[in-house]
Structure 1
Amino acid sequence: MKRRQWVQLAALMLMFVGAAVMAKGGYMQAKAMFAQYLIEEAWDKTIKDGAAHKPWFWADTHPIGKLWVGDNQPLYVLAGASGRNLAFGPAQVLSSAAAGKGGNTVIAGHRDTHFAVLAHAKKGQEIRLQSMTGDIYYYRIRSTMIVHQSQTQWLQDQGAPMLTLLTCYPFNALNGGAELRFVVQADEIAMPLWQHSA
């Protein structure tokens, strides 16, 4: 084979590998978005009857909350922050407090799908979390921070009702295995005045 043919073959192989990598990334994004649709249907059933509903029959989780970060579209929160569940949406760490029960409610999500919205989180921003009972709890961001994955003190219950959101950091990284976490901590607040008149 001539040198030019080798170069052409190498270029074709690189194009094929690049297309495969892009397709995999697109597949992951599509899977995450389609899962939210099925999870939304399960959530609607939960709000109607108060029972847990699986989004698909083989699921080992169910939606336990609906989350609004600022003015972004709502996200449906799954029970159990396992790697499998996080592929489909944000998920609550089960050892943390349930919304409305006092204590620290901890929700994790992937930085490149559902929790990409945290890149724009800022102090003073409002977050809402609806529980399975239909009650909505309001929070105001008190801090955002970047921590090492070994620093887990922010997971602890601090005695007051609060919400902690976390994702890997930096947001624009192309590789997995990040050692840093972006943490948003928010304190529960009373229903904002504008909500009383709505």
Structure 2
Amino acid sequence: MTTLKRHWLTAGLLMIIAFCWGQAGYIVAKAQLAQYLISDAWQQGVLSQTPVKPWGWADTYPVAKLTINQSEPLYVLAGASNRNLAFGPVLLNANLDELSQVDNTQAFNVSIAAHRDTHFALLELVEYGDSLRLDTGKESLSFVVDDLLIVDEKYLSVLDVDDKQVITLITCYPFDALSSTTPLRYVVRGRLVEKSVS
């Protein structure tokens, strides 16, 4: 191979690498900007007590702020869809407005799902007794982790409301799987220990 061909080949490969890095950088930048916009929408929504979309064409809005132990807060989005999962955890089955009317005897199960390789990657580190805090904008709910499960994706009873006041966090399992689809789910459950007005 001549020196000229080698230089053109090297230049071409460098351009491909730069393009790939540019694409990866674009995705990371977009994800960071989205989190900023979602956080801002959450704060505006809390102040106005109305749902605020993070950007004009969004089909979701933040409904709660979730803190796992002392981690950075995660903003829980309305509407359980793959599109919304790309931006953060999603609320699966609860009406958070109704929680403010629940007394200490009424059961509920706030179920939240997120991707294992992004927002819920930290679930791998959660242990029994860890704290979970859910801020709905009207009240703050504190939970303590009392169950860690690995279940089949078809095992939907983890979403059921039984006789307890719980939060259920769900993500794909195992955390280090090479496939983007797995039949297992990792479930973190916490029982309510304190409820206060925000």
Q: Given the two structures, how large is their TM-score scaled by the length of structure 1?
A: 0.81
- Alignment partner of 2:131 out of 110, 126, 129: 126
Cross-structure match for 1:53: 52
Tell me the SS of whatever aligns to 1:114. Answer: coil
- Counting matched residue pairs gives 185
Cross-structure match for 1:153: 157
Tell me the SS of whatever aligns to 2:158. Answer: helix
Cα distance in structure 2, aligned partners of 1:54 and 1:39 = 8
**1:29: Cα distance to partner?**
4.3
Cross-structure match for 1:173: 177
Structure 1's 25 and 123: CA in aligned 2 closer, same or farther, altered over 3 A?
farther
Cross-structure match for 2:94: 96
Q: Given the two structures, how large is their TM-score scaled by the length of structure 2?
A: 0.81
Q: RMSD of the alignment, in Å?
A: 2.8
Cross-structure match for 2:85: 86
Cross-structure match for 2:34: 35
Cα distance in structure 2, aligned partners of 1:126 and 1:62 = 25
Identity of aligned residues (%): 40
Tell me the SS of whatever aligns to 1:190. Answer: strand
Cα distance in structure 2, aligned partners of 1:84 and 1:163 = 23
Structure 1's 23 and 104: CA in aligned 2 closer, same or farther, altered over 3 A?
farther
- 5+ residue gaps, structure 2, are none
Cα distance in structure 2, aligned partners of 1:110 and 1:30 = 18
Give the letter aligned to residue 103 of structure 1: F
Asked if 1:117 is matched to 2:116, the reply is no
Give deviations 1:39-60, integer Å, cap 9, x for gaps: 0000111111111100000011
- 5+ residue gaps, structure 1, are none
